[in-house]
């Protein structure tokens, strides 16, 4: 070993590479649904769309959370560091292209991001996909995720560009994970409150994760 550790995001990314390779060879198409259910959306899209390379990117370095009340920034463009528990990947290491239209709404204390909602133009060509909603453990339970999601949606026009999210068992925090039924009920509340229609996810995903949810706004 050369001193590199296998982090949880790197393991998840390794899974996506293997699953993509298998599906490219037409082997086990059901594995695509496995990837959709068991990989965080942000990790899956980051590897698939070449925003992040788990092999070459150094292990994540997370900032400690400073004292103070967070301020929500609908579109993050400042030079910041990220606290642990905010997203499955260190957002500052993503190399997106303008066409990806990645957008981050962030809750910031001083220059540290303590919460984030991340979305990007869907790879399928229409609409926007919410890839991650996360808040550092110390700031949870005070309405921050709700405020960020509301600000994120308000910064787009869902009527022109529908937004969607799929929340599976994979959307969990690596540092202080909540029980899945709790996460599902928080996700349902969050998305409904922001105006999304929430329903069970597609059958192929639910075959693997029966509690998986899909949330949409601006469609039909």
Ligand X SMILES: CC(C)(COP(=O)(O)OP(=O)(O)OC[C@H]1O[C@@H](n2cnc3c(N)ncnc32)[C@H](O)[C@@H]1OP(=O)(O)O)[C@@H](O)C(=O)NCCC(=O)NCCS
Q: Which residues bind ligand X (CB under 6 A)?
A: 133-135, 140-146, 167, 171-173, 178, 182-183, 185-187, 189-190, 193
3-state helix, strand, coil in the chain (%, to 5): 35, 20, 45
Q: In angstroms, what is the minimal distance from the CB of 173 to ligand X?
A: 4
Q: In angstroms, what is the minimal distance from the CB of 140 to ligand X?
A: 3
Closer by beta carbon to ligand X, 185 or else 219? 185
The residue of the chain with the least Cβ separation from ligand X equals 145
Q: Which residues pair with 166 in a beta bridge?
A: 214
Closer by beta carbon to ligand X, 94 or else 159? 94
**Contact between residue 200 and residue 212 where contact means Cβ atoms under 8 Å apart:** yes
Residue 6 burial (CB count, 10 A): 11
Q: In angstroms, what is the minimal distance from the CB of 193 to ligand X?
A: 5
Crossing angle of the two packed helices 180-193 and 144-154, in degrees rounded to 10: 40
Q: Which residues pair with 105 in a beta bridge?
A: 117
Closer by beta carbon to ligand X, 11 or else 21? 11
Q: In angstroms, what is the minimal distance from the CB of 211 to ligand X?
A: 11
Closer by beta carbon to ligand X, 17 or else 169? 169
Closer by beta carbon to ligand X, 23 or else 178? 178
Environment class of 55 (CB within 10 Å of its CB; exposed 0-12, middle 13-18, buried 19+): exposed
Environment class of 47 (CB within 10 Å of its CB; exposed 0-12, middle 13-18, buried 19+): buried
C-alpha to C-alpha distance for 101 and 120, rounded to whole angstroms: 5
In sign, the C-alpha dihedral spanning 134, 135, 136, 140 is: negative
Closer by beta carbon to ligand X, 158 or else 166? 166
Q: In angstroms, what is the minimal distance from the CB of 28 to ligand X?
A: 27
Q: In angstroms, what is the minimal distance from the CB of 48 to ligand X?
A: 20
């Amino acid at each position: 070993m050369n001193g590199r550790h296998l982090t949880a995001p790197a393991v998840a990314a390794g899974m996506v590479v293997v699953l993509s390779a298998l599906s490219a060879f037409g082997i086990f198409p059901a594995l695509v649904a496995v990837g959709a259910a068991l990989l965080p959306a942000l990790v899956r899209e980051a590897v698939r769309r070449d925003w992040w390379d788990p092999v070459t990117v150094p292990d994540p370095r997370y900032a400690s959370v400073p004292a103070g009340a967070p301020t929500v920034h609908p579109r993050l463009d400042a030079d910041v560091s990220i606290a642990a528990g905010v997203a499955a990947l260190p957002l500052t290491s993503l190399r997106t292209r303008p066409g990806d239209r990645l957008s981050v709404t962030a809750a910031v204390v001083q220059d540290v991001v303590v919460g984030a909602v991340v979305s990007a133009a869907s790879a399928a060509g229409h609409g926007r996909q919410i890839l991650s909603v996360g808040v550092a453990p110390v700031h949870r339970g005070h309405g921050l995720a709700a405020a960020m999601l509301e600000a994120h949606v308000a910064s787009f026009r869902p009527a022109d560009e529908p937004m969607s999210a799929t929340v599976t068992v994979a959307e969990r925090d690596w540092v202080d994970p909540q029980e899945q039924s709790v996460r599902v009920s928080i996700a349902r509340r969050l998305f409904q409150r922001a105006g999304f229609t929430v329903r069970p996810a597609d059958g192929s995903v639910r075959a693997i994760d029966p509690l998986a949810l899909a949330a949409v706004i601006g469609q039909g």
